[in-house]
Structure 1
Amino acid sequence: MKVDNTRMDGLGLVAGIDGGAVAYGFSCQLAEVVKAVKETGKKGKVSITLTVDPLPKFGESAVAIKANLALSVPRPDYKQMVKFALDDGTLIGDDPKQRKFEEISNSFKQEEKVI
């Protein structure tokens, strides 16, 4: 097995982690965030975290590098709606404690007939 002693900068390192899977995942997640930013007008974020751990069993200069991708995709704001909850948890559109327009209208019509 040939040992690669080529010096590696950060970009080369990220490009080579897991056979390029991290770089590809970053590219896909970045595109997803950019699309959502354009759609919502809100900011988003993609982060690459590299964890470096010592590996003393392989010698004092050996380190393990693990990558993690995280993204924050902006979501659209949805409008709220008002509903009224009954005792059984059912939601309805009209306040059950408030009289309906038809009831009020009918009571005025009945009062007019009485007069």
Structure 2
Amino acid sequence: MDIFALPDVFIRKLMRTMEIEDRMRLRLVCRAFEQLAADSHAGYFAVGGIYKPVGRNLAVNFGDTPFKRDAQSATELTQLRSRLFNGITFAKFELKVAEIKLQVPTDLFFQLIATHKIVHL
């Protein structure tokens, strides 16, 4: 069966259900699969969010994975993700920063938002 003969809609839905580890293995099969993995979303997370600031930093979670609360780790995260994939899809993305008072690094905040390219406010 030629997977590339399938409609794009079906391929995108199929790729969304794959775990990151499976995508990494798929990239090793051949260049066509490498391009398919790179052109599709990086994965589907049921939950993601930017949560209560701690000092001048934000708590960020993608699925069950927490990330360090500094701009350097956010830069590394976005660079790694952009090298591997073109997007991440969230079923529910929460932004809980009720009392920001501009105490968070705004460049980090907007960098994280811009990473996902699809922002619904």
The alignment's TM-score, normalised by the length of structure 1, stands at 0.22
Q: Which is bigger in relative contact order (C-alpha 8 A, separation at least 6)?
A: 2
Q: Could you say which structure has the larger radius of gyration?
A: 1
TM-score, with normalisation over the residues of structure 2?
Answer: 0.22
